[in-house]
Amino acid sequence: MARKLARYKLDLVGVQDVKWDKEGRVRTGDYSLFLWKRKRKPSVANRIFVHHRLISTVKRVDFVSDRMSYIVLRGQWCNIIVLNVHASTQEKSDDSKNIFYKGITEDVRSFS
């Protein structure tokens, strides 16, 4: 994965469904991979890849839930927040999607 990110010259990438059951920060190639261990299975696993050029700007990485994470980067004039959300698919029922979006709204309010 790190080689593909480098090939496309991507510095910050949020990914889901990474099959790596560890927690913390792992160096892989020119990237650091921030991991959060799943609370329950099956579940979506959020991960964030950060290129070593940006690692000194990382102020905070937080995994709010199985489906939401964010990273705060120190910018020149203000902080930059990048939100990574794994949304429900179209095949899910409307009730399921409504519950999901209500939960996302509550999660966003919890860190804003």
Domains in the chain with CATH codes: 2-111 (3.60.10.10)
* Amino acid type, 25: R
What string of pLDDT tens digits covers the 112 residues of the chain? 788 888 899 999 888 766 666 677 888 889 988 877 655 554 556 788 999 999 999 999 988 777 778 899 999 999 998 988 877 667 777 777 777 777 777 766 766 5
Running DSSP on this structure, what letter comes out for residue 19?
A: -
pTM of the predicted model, to two decimals? 0.75
Counting Cβ atoms within 10 Å, is residue 4 exposed (0-12), middle (13-18) or buried (19+)? exposed
